[in-house]
Amino acid sequence: MKQSRDFRWRPVTNTALAAVLVALASVVLHAQAQDKPPSKAEQAIKYRQSVYKVILWNFGPIAGMAQGKIPYDAADFARRAERVATMAPMLLEGYPEGSATGTTTRARPEIWEHKDEFTKLMKDMEGKAATLATISKDGDFEKSKAALLELADACKACHDKYRTD
Amino acid sequence: MKQSRDFRWRPVTNTALAAVLVALASVVLHAQAQDKPPSKAEQAIKYRQSVYKVILWNFGPIAGMAQGKIPYDAADFARRAERVATMAPMLLEGYPEGSATGTTTRARPEIWEHKDEFTKLMKDMEGKAATLATISKDGDFEKSKAALLELADACKACHDKYRTD
């Protein structure tokens, strides 16, 4: 019975999934304006740059609030902090072996020579992002700002060491 | 007291945050290989394309498992489904008014003419992604595959109508 259900599902799933995969992949390819499919290294580089971009999109308004450039909106601050905390742990897998070069990247080759330290810095940043997400839920501006500063320092620690200017 | 604490924090926060913002922004600018800063429309387009890329990065292995191309790993399936569910609600804000054209985009202008229906399709997809994340936690391959198919259909419904070929 289980087998026959499996048998009915698979062809449909395969077709629908394949269509979506082709569709999504074509967005990526199109955005890269290339005819040949990207290498695994290029995919990883584009992936990690995408994660950084989404983080920046959410980090920007938070930092703007902390700097007093835009009004503090506790709910929006917390929502974006939660997103940053969710995105942060997605970065590490964007640095597989062999992705030091490919498409344009500012990642230093030292990342792969000192992967343990790089990983430690990433984990530290993930922790600070998680703390910010937790703290900002309480809606205390000063505490949220202090936690954001901690996160910013953790970002900078890695940028200073493992990213080219 | 509150004031004086605020006074102590602000300059430090501003400097550190500004440094991180500049650093993050420069990644985006560098990736775009442009000298002038991107317009708000271009930023939105790059942002939504980044969200799609991160979704694809995680959707790929899940679809591969469902298709039997890679071995089913229940924990990894659930982790990636959770990420897709978190990313999905980030898409809508990537389609602000005025972002129909700019840098390369396959979004049809009809999105902004039928924003209500576009929003409905997005919300439907977000719901399917959330269901997939919940179901996949139980580690039932058949049920996860069925939920994935539902999500794939929801993706396709929007692509078919609001994306150029």
Asked if B17 lies within 8 A of A63 by C-beta distance, the reply is yes
Residue B28 has pLDDT above 80, yes or no: no
pLDDT of residue B36: 72
Asked if B23 lies within 8 A of A86 by C-beta distance, the reply is no
Mean pLDDT of A149-153: 96
List the single best residue of A1, A24, A28 to mutate versus B (max B Cβ within 10 A).
Answer: A24
Residue with the bigger pLDDT between B103 and B71: it is B71
Instruction: Determine the length of chain A.
Output: 165
Give the minimum alpha-carbon distance from A116 to chain B in angstroms, rounded to a whole number.
23
pLDDT of residue A149: 96
Nearest CB to B57; choose among A14, A47, A83: A47
- Alpha-helical regions (H) of chain A: 2-32, 40-66, 74-87, 110-113, 115-136, 141-162
Average pLDDT, chain B: 85
Asked if B145 lies within 8 A of A59 by C-beta distance, the reply is no
Q: Which residues of B touch A155 (CB under 8 A)?
A: 20, 23-24
pLDDT of residue A130: 98
List the single best residue of A27, A99, A106, A151 to mutate versus B (max B Cβ within 10 A).
Answer: A27
Alpha-carbon A96 to chain mean position: 14
Give the minimum alpha-carbon distance from A100 to chain B in angstroms, rounded to a whole number.
15
Mean pLDDT: which of A132-136, B6-10, B42-46 is highest? A132-136
**Over the stretch B73-91, which tens digit does the pLDDT of each residue have?**
999 999 999 999 999 999 9
**Over the stretch B117-141, which tens digit does the pLDDT of each residue have?**
999 999 999 999 999 999 999 999 9
List the single best residue of B13, B29, B106 to mutate versus A (max A Cβ within 10 A).
Answer: B13
Closest CA to A100 of A85, A111, A84: A111
Collapsing DSSP to helix, strand or coil, B69 comes out as: coil
Q: Using an 8 Å Cβ cutoff, are A119 and A76 in contact?
A: no
ipTM over cut 0.85:
no
Give the minimum alpha-carbon distance from A44 to chain B in angstroms, rounded to a whole number.
9
pLDDT band at A4 (very low <50, low <70, confident <90, very high): very low
Angle between helix B74-87 and A74-87 (nearest 10): 150
Give the minimum alpha-carbon distance from A137 to chain B in angstroms, rounded to a whole number.
17
Q: Which residues of A touch B83 (CB under 8 A)?
A: 86, 90
Collapsing DSSP to helix, strand or coil, B72 comes out as: coil
Q: Using an 8 Å Cβ cutoff, are A69 and A126 in contact?
A: no
Residue with the bigger pLDDT between B33 and B154: it is B154
**Over the stretch A126-148, which tens digit does the pLDDT of each residue have?**
999 999 999 999 999 999 999 99
Q: Which residues of A touch B12 (CB under 8 A)?
A: 149
pLDDT of residue A31: 47
Residue A77 has pLDDT above 60, yes or no: yes
Asked if B67 lies within 8 A of A14 by C-beta distance, the reply is yes
Alpha-carbon A60 to chain mean position: 14
Residue A86 has pLDDT above 50, yes or no: yes
**Over the stretch A47-56, which tens digit does the pLDDT of each residue have?**
999 999 999 9
Nearest CB to A56; choose among B25, B57, B155: B25
Q: Which residues of B touch A5 (CB under 8 A)?
A: 142
pLDDT band at A94 (very low <50, low <70, confident <90, very high): very high
Match 């694809």 to its residue by tokens.
B56
Average pLDDT, chain A: 85
pLDDT of residue A76: 97
Q: Taking the CB of residue A56, how many other CB atoms lie within 10 A of it?
A: 23
DSSP H or E run through A87 = helix A74-87
pLDDT band at A32 (very low <50, low <70, confident <90, very high): very low
pLDDT of residue A108: 93
Single-letter residue type at A69: K
- The predicted model scores a pTM of 0.82
